[in-house]
Amino acid sequence: MKENLIKINDFLYEIPKTGKMKVPARIYATENMLADILSDNAPEQAKNVACLPGIVGYSFAMPDMHWGYGFPIGGVAAFDMDDGVISPGGVGYDINCGVRLLRTDLSRKDVQGKITHIVDALFASIPSGVGSTGPVRLSAADEKKVLTEGAHWAVANGYGDREDLDKIEETGRMPGAVPDYVSDHALKRGKAQLGTLGSGNHFVEVGYVEQVFDEKIAARLGLFKNQVTVIVHTGSRGLGHQICDDFIKVMLGAADKYGIYLPDRQLCCAPVRSPEGQRYLGAMAAGVNFAFCNRQLITHWTREAFMRALCAGPKTVNMRVVYEVAHNIAKIEEHKVNGKNKKLCVHRKGATRAFGPGHPAVPESYRDIGQPVLIPGDMGRYSYVLVGTENAMRETFGSTCHGAGRVLSRKKALKRAQGRSLYRELLDKGIYVKASSKATMAEEMPEAYKNVSNVVDAVAGAGISKIVARLKPMGVIKG
């Protein structure tokens, strides 16, 4: 594959259009990242996406790209509303897996010697692990309200306040959700899981602002050096997984019905405006809203855990939402194509929206600086806060990376962890981790991921995001 890559610049490579590709594929990366990127099938998947009907511009892959279901994780693709398609593989199984960043009025010295208490309180308050269930008991009617109202349902029921909603993508409620398109099995799976972290790479991380790169923008986001922060990373749990599974079966039939060429059956899809496409969009939006509500509940319990661990009141902690982004989602958006505004169906799978300054979808309080972009790393290194740029609007349909990106499979990580105490290794670095199983610790070990600093440097070098601050972990809970 490397011999087929054309270097556009130091941060961008292109796979030329060949065979049944309708557009070229583009990979954002530095040269020293290519070995990892080319070590799995992800670049081939980016090529396959370029074969789908109605794709506009390019099939994009971000520097955190790795192999996924159908689309590569780290993939971005926009499709024409009339001629293009919608594909569950372009959203992923964990619909609206995303990241919320919380800031506090606490500084690092305020929590010195208390991190274990905070992490233990978080672990006790937030259900985590495979199949975990939460304390919220939903009736069938309430669950459908969650699927249409998202985080607004949580706030209306006492989990947070109205100010939280202003700092969430789509204000925490994606329009177009149709709960009736969600199967009974998916509803059953989601009913007991609202307010849970889940397993795998999901986490709640307590950290601090280790470095500020842009003082002015950081101040607008309410961030300052040595400030205590919290990152919440989770998604739509079993409900979203089941929605994806259900519609993959639907889309396999739809692809045959509409005569869509699939270089890989995992790219099964339907025309955006078809009945199958519209049903998926309605069910997906319901899954998106479940995830928004899920992170809102976890935020509420995070606030309570901090106050309990520190014996402090809400005014002392003053935990506020900086922003929340989705990174497994498809959206109908307007972008310039050949100089004209055009509505497109934009898939972002393991990729983050990065709208630039002035865009009406950016909250008014941030509109002049661009949308905040939250990039979590692994539990042993760093996470980053960035903002979107005009260049991202021109080049990537307002998209950027979403995290560090795996370099080791879970199986390989488990093998590498044998005979090691990852808990002790992280504690020696000043990071207290509490997980529901040793297997999760091993699968999510820091070396299973790329160095997120390299990923962030690549998107910043390409001009599709601007670095604002770097966060360093002090304590983490994992499923």
Which residues have a catalytic role annotated? Answer: 402
Distance CA 81, CA 58 (A): 16
Q: How far is CA 300 from the centre of its chain?
A: 20
- CA distance readout (Å), 117 to 125, 144, 304, 338: 12, 36, 13, 56
Do residues 159 and 467 make contact, with C-beta atoms less than 8 angstroms apart? no
Q: How far apart are CA 382 and CA 226, in angstroms?
A: 14
Q: Which helix (H) or strand (E) holds 45?
A: helix 42-49
List residues bridging with 232 in a β-sheet. Answer: 100, 204
Q: Helices 237-257 & 275-310, crossing angle to 10 degrees?
A: 170
Residue 179 one-letter amino acid: P
Rounded (5°) CA angle 324-132-238? 65
Alpha carbon distance 335, 138 (integer Å): 39
Integer Cα distance of 108 and 148 in angstroms:
39
In the structure encoding, which two tokens stand for residue 137, read together? 């008991």
C-alpha dihedral sign at 468, 473, 475, 478? positive
Say which residue the tokens 């109605």 belong to.
Answer: 54
Could you tell me the two tokens for 425?
Answer: 């290794």
d(CA 121, CA 57): 48
Q: How far apart are CA 150 and CA 143, in angstroms?
A: 10
Q: Residue 376's Cα: distance from chain center in Å?
A: 9
First and final CA of the chain: distance in angstroms?
A: 36
Beta bridge partners of 29: none
Going 33 to 38 to 42 to 48, the CA torsion angle's sign is positive
Q: Closest by alpha carbon to 197, among 126, 256, 258, 121?
A: 126
Contacts of 444 (CB under 8 A, 6+ apart): 200, 201, 203, 378, 379, 413, 478
Helix or strand run (H / E) with residue 422: helix 422-428
Measure Cα distances from 356 to 13, 326, 382, 387 in Å: 23, 16, 24, 8
Q: Check if the beta carbon of residue 383 is closer than 8 Å to that of residue 231.
A: yes
